[in-house]
Structure 1
Amino acid sequence: MKRLFSIILLLAVIFVLSATNPDRSEYIEWINHKTMDQSSNLLQKGILSLAGKSIFDAGTTKKDYFLFSIYKTDFSDVGRGKVTTIGVFNQFIPLTSNEK
């Protein structure tokens, strides 16, 4: 009985993780807003509001592991280096940042 409960719990966790694995468009939206919030330059904010999503979409790679995703974004075009982020539970957690 204890083993059956453990298996059901494991399946429930796997289902929740797979159902809350955010997709690429959510990541692009999140990273664009995060970068705009960190920017203090009005010109840079304007450029990011107009073309940020296409810049980040072109510079982002995604590895989908079904339960979570790892995103690597190259911010070299906007002078911020490279960022690696994990997407899990509909959240994005920066793992590494090589900001210039």
Structure 2
Amino acid sequence: MKKKYYIIIGVLFVFLLMAATNPNKSEYQSWVSDQVTKENGLFLGWITKPIINAGTTHHDYIFFSVFETKIQNEKVVSIGAFNHFKTFENEK
């Protein structure tokens, strides 16, 4: 019976941690800018922030967030959780 309570407490702790570390749009914008800077240089990374801000929609689901960025005819979808981001889909 104690094992069941430990599992429930563990699961609740993970959900609480996910809610506390759910990234927002400005954190996503900074992450994208950092990625562009690493790949293409400082100037392009600096210019990216306003473009990303204008083309990104943010869907907050309390425990994680989904970011959809549309640039020209390309759509990039990323998921953010635990203060990390993962791009998982490119669509045209």
TM-score > 0.5, shorter chain as reference: yes
Instruction: Provide the aligned length of Structure 1 versus Structure 2.
Output: 91
Task: Tell me the C-alpha RMSD between the 2 structures.
Answer: 2.1
Give TM-score scaled by structure 1 length.
0.78
- Residue 98 of structure 1 and its aligned partner are, at CA, apart by 3.7
Q: Which runs of 4+ in 1 moved over 6 A?
A: none
Residue 47 of structure 1 and its aligned partner are, at CA, apart by 5.1
In structure 1, what is the Cα distance between the partners aligned to 2:75 and 2:15? 30
Which amino acid letter does the alignment assign opposite residue 29 of structure 2? I
The within-5 A match list for 1:1-100 is 1-39=2-40, 46=43, 48-49=45-46, 51-76=47-72, 81-98=74-91
5+ residue gaps, structure 2: none
SS at match of 1:74: strand
Query: Structure 2-normalised TM-score?
Result: 0.84
Q: Mind listing any 5+ residue stretches in structure 1 that lack a counterpart?
A: none
2:37 and 2:44 in contact (8 A); partners too: no
1:52 CA drift (Å): 1.9
